[in-house]
Amino acid sequence: MTANETEAVDETQEPGTELVSGYGSSPGVATGPVRIVEDIDEADRIDEGDVIVTEMTAPDMVPAMKRSAGIVTDEGGMTSHAAIVSRELGVPAIVGCGEATAVLADGQRITLDGQKGTVVVPDADAASTAEEAVADADPAGESPDPTAGGAPTTATEVKVNVSIPDAAQRAADTGADGVGLLRLEHILLSTSKTPEKYVADHGEDAFVEEISEEIRKVADAFYPRPVRARTLDAPTDELAELEGGEDEPHEHNPMLGYRGIRRSLKEPEMVKLELRAFKRLHDMGYDNVEVMFPLPNDAEDVRRARELMDEVGIDREEHDWGAMIETPASIRAIDEIIEEGIDFVALGTNDIVQFMLAVDRNNAMVADRFDDFHPTILEAMAEVIEACNEHDVDTTITGQSGSHPDMAKFLVEKGISSLSSNIDAVDEVRRVVARAERKLLLDAARESLDDVEPRID
Ligand code: PEP
Ligand code: MG
């Protein structure tokens, strides 16, 4: 489609007039025609350079998201599907706008700023074709050169989060020290079928192969840097959207419900297929692939997961494995969890904040209460890091706040082993980490000089 075919411009509105606003969730500025997507079937209407405006994106919209110049959603917070995926694709996005699908009209040209979180009437001379709009938005852009300007080497590792294997090369090109979190659910959900349905249609071996081949893309892009891949953590409401989803239980609070390790431990045969995918990769020589379990509450959850790894023959001596720390209970049980033999923990602040502050992470109504810097959260993270450091267990942060410079500084001061951030934040986090580490060294040096008698030679 060319811009002239269906674009509508409201001549009555001054350029720069704000139309809607929300949470800037993927940086960049894009100008293009609105395409309202009410149903996934309509995602085919998205052409290069269109701006998707929808209630909330779904896993099978990813190809359309890739083609788009920008994304605007009514619902969702900074850790919603739209936010995570658009960041990895490098497509500017705004989430939690409330009423974008009602306020904006199909074909209307808009400019969105994924940093500020605003949608405005474009300048008259803003890119007038879809192609130019794409170039303006620079969705994928050039991969940042990690050595440009002399990227500092830091003692604290700076890793990157990956959800979409197609973004693996872009992520690897940041020069990150590895993948701190590869979410398996985006891989599984992109098959458009629930895992059960996939297995019913194609068989167990095909399922194992499908997952391992997707993880392999990331393992290849990063080799020999480590890739921590996490077993499935998909809430039932997301699974319900897929083929086979009619069999999913209906839950009032999916985020508090049947997801992560609690589902895996109830359906061991399913998670064992996921674990077989890891084993397959290890057997192929991918010694950089590590297993991570989401959402345990206590040592028993971790022990049972470990036993499943043993059942499928994963060699824990050879391959590191670990657990996400994401619930208040797991924070309190950190010493016992460590005793189960984990090599690392990942602080899942998206869930820690949700559960400690009782703020639904997907509810835009309370998004302003989602505070990663709440003193309770900071204290909890510091406690986990201290306990892990006492036992030589590696710590990392994989939640959205791991991309925030102030959080990076705080966690370096508390002794975290690594941070895992969004692709677009790696460079800045690395710089902040380097500065924080130097400051710690300088402070220590000054302190030791305090004991020395002042003397001018
Ligand atoms: C988290 O909870 O911080 C996390 C990284 O996991 P997810 O966002 O996938 O729940
Ligand atoms: Mg989580």
Distance, in Å, from the CA atom of 244 to the CA atom of 239, rounded to the nearest integer, reads 8
Domain that holds residue 32: 3-131
pLDDT score at 278:
98
pLDDT reading at 12 higher than 90: no
pLDDT score at 137:
38
When pLDDT is cut at 50, 70 and 90, the band that residue 149 belongs to is low
Residues 208-225 have a mean pLDDT of: 97
Token reading at 367: 């998004």
pLDDT reading at 432 higher than 80: yes
Ligand 1 contacts CB of residue 349 (under 6 A) = yes
Average pLDDT over the chain reads 90
**Bridge partners, 110 (sequence order):** 32
DSSP annotation of 16: T
Radius of gyration of the chain (CA): 23
pLDDT reading at 142 higher than 50: no
| Of 65, 96, 131, the domain-final residue | 131
Q: Tell me, yes or no, whether 140 lies in a domain.
A: no
The total domain count for the chain is: 2
pLDDT score at 11:
54
Distance, in Å, from the CA atom of 24 to the CA atom of 63, rounded to the nearest integer, reads 21
Shared-domain flag, residues 209 and 305: yes
Range with the poorest average pLDDT among 119-128, 176-185, 297-306: 119-128
Shared-domain flag, residues 121 and 164: no
DSSP annotation of 193: B
- pLDDT tens profile 408-418: 999 999 999 99
Helix (H) or strand (E) holding 427: helix 426-450
Is 54 strand, coil or helix? strand
Shared-domain flag, residues 117 and 181: no
Q: Tell me, yes or no, whether 144 lies in a domain.
A: no
> Which CATH number is 45's domain given?
3.50.30.10
Shared-domain flag, residues 127 and 162: no
Residues 286-309 have a mean pLDDT of: 98
pLDDT score at 40:
72
Residues 290-307 have a mean pLDDT of: 98
Distance, in Å, from the CA atom of 376 to the CA atom of 298, rounded to the nearest integer, reads 20
Ligand 1 contacts CB of residue 181 (under 6 A) = yes
Shared-domain flag, residues 88 and 192: no
Most confident of 21-25, 35-39, 315-319: 315-319
Q: Tell me, yes or no, whether 454 lies in a domain.
A: no
Shared-domain flag, residues 396 and 362: yes
pLDDT score at 125:
75
Ligand 1 contacts CB of residue 185 (under 6 A) = no
Tell me the CA–centroid distance for residue 121 and ligand 1, in Å.
35
Model confidence, pTM: 0.87
Shared-domain flag, residues 276 and 360: yes
Residues 182-186 have a mean pLDDT of: 92
Report yes or no: 19 and 110 within 8 Å, Cβ to Cβ: yes
Could you give the percent of the chain with pLDDT greater than 90? 77
DSSP annotation of 151: P
Token reading at 27: 């940086």
| Of 96, 116, 131, the domain-final residue | 131
Ligand 1 contacts CB of residue 398 (under 6 A) = yes
Shared-domain flag, residues 181 and 123: no
pLDDT score at 365:
84
Looking at ligand 1, which atom is closest to the CA of residue 400?
3
When pLDDT is cut at 50, 70 and 90, the band that residue 314 belongs to is very high
Ligand 1 mutation target, pool 255, 295, 398, most atoms within 8 A of CB = 398
